[in-house]
Amino acid sequence: MPDKISFLFLGDVIGRPGRKALKKYLRSFVEKYSPSLVIANGENAAGGIGITEEIGRELLNHVDVLTSGNHIWDKREAESYLDREPRLIRPANYPPKNPGNGTYIFESEEGKKVGVLNLQGRVFMDPIDCPFRVADEEIKRLKEATSVVIVDFHAEATSEKQAMGWYLDGKVSAVVGTHTHVTTADERILPQGTAFITDVGMVGGFDSVIGIRSELAIKRFLTGRPQRLEPAKAGLLFSALFVEVDEESGRALSIKREIIKEEESG
């Protein structure tokens, strides 16, 4: 039996309902799988946009690493929090000299190391630096510390996300897509041993438009005007991915998608 490292990856946590769903359901999956580490995307954890230090601390009581994405900059205090909290990372391909880091090396109590890299896509998103080229540089650096590297690719377009999966096949242990808040059913282990899913989904209000109150989202489309968007409170959705990795080679051994849908009356 090879030595394994395993992780649970939670999709974007949306506001208070997301934090509630995380606290309600994470424990049962930790008991089921005993993962070496838990990662969650925290870019929407504060009121649906951004993250604050208070909420980051709250989440880091339950998870080991927080990744993020385009919404990381929505709460101004996140800029200084990013510089103080290495376990909170932001996409590595923002131009140089931005606050925070795009990578974190997790170390378990037994001394096992796992590199986590956050990247962001450029299709239908802000045109930041090339995520593919930045991936090459950052992975080379992380691999000096460990053979197990997990990538959160925060992107809109399924094509860009699948291309990243294939581009990094055999170079990292997993490429996990985030940002759309909708789980895709394409999880697999690519031929060279990289676990991949286009989007892991979200942790938030179930009766919603990607975690936001549906009436507000509809109003935005009907009027064409920006609307104040609030996290949906009705029902809970908990979406996660569990992956096992061979510690020595860094190849993925298994991938399993987990979803709990709790309707309001449930």
User: Looking at the annotation, which residues are catalytic?
Assistant: 71
Shortest distance, position 216 Cβ to Fe ion, whole Å = 16
Nearest-CA neighbor of 174 among 246, 243, 105, 257?
A: 243
Cα-only R_g, the chain: 17
Closest to Fe ion by CB, 197 vs 245, is 197
Closest to Fe ion by CB, 36 vs 162, is 162
Closest to Fe ion by CB, 85 vs 199, is 199
Nearest-angstrom CA–CA distance, 33 and 20: 21
Shortest distance, position 107 Cβ to Fe ion, whole Å = 27
Long-range pairs for 160-164: beta carbons < 8 A, 24 or more residues apart: 160/121, 160/122, 160/123, 161/121, 161/198, 161/199, 162/186, 162/196, 162/198, 164/119, 164/121, 164/131, 164/132, 164/135
Nearest-angstrom CA–CA distance, 111 and 32: 22
How far CA 76 is from CA of 49, 50, 69, 71, in Å, comes to 11, 9, 15, 11
Shortest distance, position 227 Cβ to Fe ion, whole Å = 17
Shortest distance, position 243 Cβ to Fe ion, whole Å = 20
Closest to Fe ion by CB, 43 vs 138, is 43
- Interface with Fe ion (CB under 5 A): 12, 43-44, 69-70, 179
Indicate left, alpha or beta for 127 from its phi (over 0: left) and psi (-120 to 50: alpha): beta
